[in-house]
Amino acid sequence: MASQALRRFASAVPRAPPCVKILPEVADALSSGRPVVALESTIVAHGMPYPQNLELAKDVSRILRNKGVTPATIAVKNGMFRAGLHPDELENLSKAGEEGRAIKCSTRDLPLVASKHRHNMSHSEENTQWGATTVAATMRLAHVAGISTFVTGGTGGVHRGGELSLDISTDLIELSRTPVVVISAGVKSILDVKRTLEVLETFAVPTGTWQSNEFPAFFSPKSGVKSPAIFENASDVASAYLTGRELGMKNGMLVVRRIL
List all residues 6 or more positions away from 72 whose beta carbon is below 8 Å from its beta carbon. Answer: 22, 23, 26, 36, 37, 38, 39, 83, 84, 142, 145, 147
Q: Check: CB of residue 3 under 8 Å from CB of residue 61.
A: no
Which class for 214: exposed (0-12), middle (13-18), buried (19 or more C-beta within 10 A)? middle
Task: Identify the active-site residue in 40, 89, 91, 174.
Answer: 40
Beta bridge partners of 105: 133
Which of 91, 95, 174, 188 is the catalytic position?
188
Judge whether 1 and 34 are in contact, CB under 8 Å. Answer: no
Instruction: Tell me if residue 40 is catalytic.
Output: yes
- Class of residue 222 by CB neighbours under 10 A (exposed 0-12, middle 13-18, buried 19+): exposed
Cis bond before residue 51 (omega within 30° of 0): yes
Written as one letter, the residue type at 199 is V
Residue 77 designated active-site: no
Inter-residue contact 169 to 203 (CB < 8 Å): no
Q: Residue 141 phi/psi, 5° resolution?
A: -70, -35
Length of the chain, in residues: 260
Catalytic residues: 40, 188
